[in-house]
Structure 1
Amino acid sequence: MDTATKTPWHLWVIGVVSLLWNSIGAADYIFSSLRSEAWFKMMQYPEAGIAYLDQFPAWAHGGWALGTLGAFLGSILLLARSRHAFAAFAISLLGIALTTVYEAGANMPPELAEVQPAWFPIVLWAIAILLFVYSWMMKKRGVLK
Structure 2
Amino acid sequence: MTTERDKRAVRPPWHMWVVAVATFAIYFGGARDFLRILANDADYMVRQFGEPGVNYFADYPPVLRLIWAINIVGGLVAPCLLLALSRWALAAAAVAAAAQVVLLIVTFGFRDRWDALGAATSWFDIGIGVATVALVGYCWVMRRRGTLR
Question: TM-score of the superposition, structure 1-length normalised?
Answer: 0.83
The one-letter amino acid paired with 2:16 is: L
Query: Paired residue for 1:26?
Result: 31
The alignment's C-alpha RMSD in Å is 2.2
How far residue 48 of structure 1 moved from its aligned partner, in angstroms, is 2.2
1:1-145 to structure 2, matched below 5 A, reads: 1-4=3-6, 5-37=10-42, 39-40=44-45, 43-103=47-107, 104-108=109-113, 110=115, 112-113=117-118, 116-117=121-122, 119-145=123-149
Distance in 1, Cα, partners of 2:4 & 2:42: 54
Distance in 2, Cα, partners of 1:15 & 1:109: 29
- Gaps (5+ residues) in structure 1? none
Distance in 2, Cα, partners of 1:6 & 1:49: 43
Bigger relative contact order (CA 8 A; separation at least 6): 1
How far residue 114 of structure 1 moved from its aligned partner, in angstroms, is 6.3
Distance in 2, Cα, partners of 1:111 & 1:129: 25
How many residue pairs end up in the alignment? 143
How far residue 94 of structure 1 moved from its aligned partner, in angstroms, is 1.8
Calculate percent identity across the aligned residue pairs.
Answer: 27
Question: TM-score of the superposition, structure 2-length normalised?
Answer: 0.81
Q: Deviations over 1:53-103 (max 9, x none)?
A: 122222222221122221111112112222111111111112112212221
Q: Deviations over 1:86-125 (max 9, x none)?
A: 11111111211221222121133735216614x2243122
The one-letter amino acid paired with 2:4 is: D
User: Which structure has the bigger radius of gyration?
Assistant: 2
